[in-house]
Amino acid sequence: MDLDTTTDVIPQADPFDLFREWYAEAHEFELNDSNAMALATATPDGVPSVRMVLLKGHGPDGFVFYTNAHSRKGSELLANPVASLLFHWKSLRRQIRIDGTISQVDPAMADEYFHSRARDSQLGAVASDQSAPLDSRATFIARFQDAEARFADGEIERPPHWTGFRLTPRAIEFWIDRPNRLHERRLFVQDGSAAWSSTLLYP
C-alpha cells in the first residue's frame, strides 16, 4: 500500500467508528477469516497464553467471542478477567490491538448464538471437554455420536459452560504499515468517563 510518509492517515475519530470502517474493509479484502483475532489471556499469577478466536459481535459495549469456559482460555478469563485482542489484516497491512476487561454475556445471548451455529458445531461443543487430555480421537468421535443420538429428535441444549465473553475496551491502538518502517500508530485511551483521548505513538 503506497502511503504518503508525512501526513497522518489514522484520524482522531471515535475508535468504534474507525474500527467499523477498518473491519468492513477487511471483510471485503481479507481472503480468509477477516474476523479472526488473537486472544491473549493470563493466569492470576501472570502466566500468559494466546490463541486465535473469531469475533462474533462488536460495538461501543465491547467485542464478543464464544468459547468453552472450561477450556484454558475460559478458565483464565474467569480467574483473571482482563485480556488483549489483536487483529492483523495482512492484505491491508493493518493491525488493531485492544486491551480491556472481560465479562460474560447473558445466557439468552449465548443461547441465540449457539443455536445459530451449524448443527454439527453444536454437537461438537456438547461432545468436547475443550483443552482436557484426550486418550484418542476415537473417544471424541464416540462422544460426538452419543450427542448426535441424544439430540436426534430435537433442539440441542447449550452446555452451560459453553458461553460468550465480552471484552470492554480501555485502550485501542490502530497501526498502519508504511514504507521504510515509518509506520503509523494511534492509541485511543478511555479517560475514566465515556470519552476517549488519542495520541500518535512512535513506531
Total-model pTM = 0.90
**From 72, 166, 181, 186, the catalytic residue:** 181
- pLDDT per position as a tens digit, 69-98: 999 999 999 999 999 999 999 999 999 999
- The class that CATH gives domain 15-117+161-201 is mainly beta
* Residue that has been written with the C-alpha cell 475519530 in this structure: 13
In this predicted model, what pLDDT tens digit does every residue of 110-140 receive, in sequence order?
999 999 999 999 999 999 998 899 999 999 9
Query: Active site includes 181?
Result: yes
Residue with cell 483473571: 80
| Residue 8 confidence (pLDDT) | 61
Name the pLDDT band for 3 (thresholds 50, 70, 90).
very low
Percent of the chain surpassing pLDDT 70: 96
* 148-173 tens-digit pLDDT: 999 998 999 999 999 999 999 999 99
**Residue 1's pLDDT band (cuts 50, 70, 90):** very low
Q: Which residue has the higher pLDDT, 10 or 146?
A: 146
The secondary structure of the chain, three-state, reads: CCCCCCCCCCCCCCHHHHHHHHHHHHHHHCCCCCCEEEEEEECCCCCEEEEEEECCEEECCEEEEEEECCCHHHHHHHHCCEEEEEEEECCCCEEEEEEEEEEECCHHHHHHHHHHCCHHHHHHHHHCCCCCCCCCHHHHHHHHHHHHHHCCCCCCCCCCCEEEEEEEEEEEEEEECCHHHCCEEEEEEECCCCCEEEEEECC
User: Cell 475460559 belongs to which residue?
Assistant: 74
Q: Which residues contact 149 (CB under 8 A, 6 or more apart)?
A: none
178 or 42, higher pLDDT: 42
Contact 170, 18 (CB under 8 A): no
